[in-house]
Structure 1
Amino acid sequence: MQTLGPQQKDSAAWIFQTWAAFLLSISMTTVGIVNLPVDSWVKGFMGMGMAFSIGSTFSLAKTMRDLHETKKLTARIDEAKVERLLSQHDSLIK
């Protein structure tokens, strides 16, 4: 069976940038909601909407990652089956 090639790792700079962008966007949106000149129930509604949007974004990202990893695993299993068939075929020919 073949071994996997080198797996791509994200750099520390990329990880920092994604976390910084996430925290900055959440902070700025929260400050904007708090400072809106509307009733508190409207602010609460917008805050709940933001919280649910963030939660659903994480769920979607996890689901897409899991789907991608499942497809990679299925491809590896199929590749192993093909290699086994080819090795059996080669041994029959010799």
Structure 2
Amino acid sequence: MSTTQVRPTNTQAFFVQAALSFGVSAAAVATGVAFLPVDPWMRAFLALGLLYVITSAFTLAKCVRDRQEESTVHGRVDQARLDKLLAEHDPFKTETS
């Protein structure tokens, strides 16, 4: 019996669409902030907020990806193997020749 690992994958087109969507929306908001008719300090404050939103978006995407990987059978098997290795590991064991 062969073991075939089935892992859900996204197509290259989906990845490109997601990247372009994020890039276009970030550029649109950045352009909007740049051309607001307000004082420079207000514009800088909004730009700082934009950087926070972009960083948060990447963090959220990573968390969603990690949660999805943990829920797969492959991820659970890898975690079980790691747990077994850590349980069997003795850091004070010395090898003598």
What is the TM-score normalised by the length of structure 2? 0.65
> Aligned residues, how many?
78
Classify 1:3/1:34 alpha carbon distance in 2 versus 1 (closer, same or farther; 3 Å).
same
Query: How far apart are the structure 2 equivalents of 1:19 and 1:61?
Result: 12
Unmatched 5+ stretches in structure 2? 79-97
RMSD of the TM alignment (CA)? 2.6
Over the matched positions of the two proteins, sequence identity in percent amounts to 29
Structure number with greater CO (CA < 8 Å, separation at least 6) is 1
3-state secondary structure, aligned to 2:15:
helix
Distance apart, 1:49 and its partner CA: 0.5
1:52 aligns with 2:23: no
Query: How many Å separate the matches in 1 of 2:64 and 2:2?
Result: 26
**Aligned runs of 1:4-83 on 2, under 5 Å?**
4-72=4-72, 73-74=75-76, 76=77
Counterparts of 1:68 and 1:2 in 2: how far apart (Å)?
A: 25
Q: 1:66 to 1:37 in 2, by over 3 A?
A: same
Q: Aligned partner of 2:32: which letter?
A: G
C-alpha deviation, 1:5, in angstroms:
4.2
Q: CA, structure 1 residues 2+25, in 2 after alignment: closer, same or farther (shift >3 Å)?
A: same
Structure with the largest fraction of helix: 1
Which runs of 5 or more structure 1 residues have no equivalent in the other structure?
A: 78-94
Shift of 1:28: 0.8
Q: Which moved more, 1:43-52 or 1:59-68?
A: 59-68
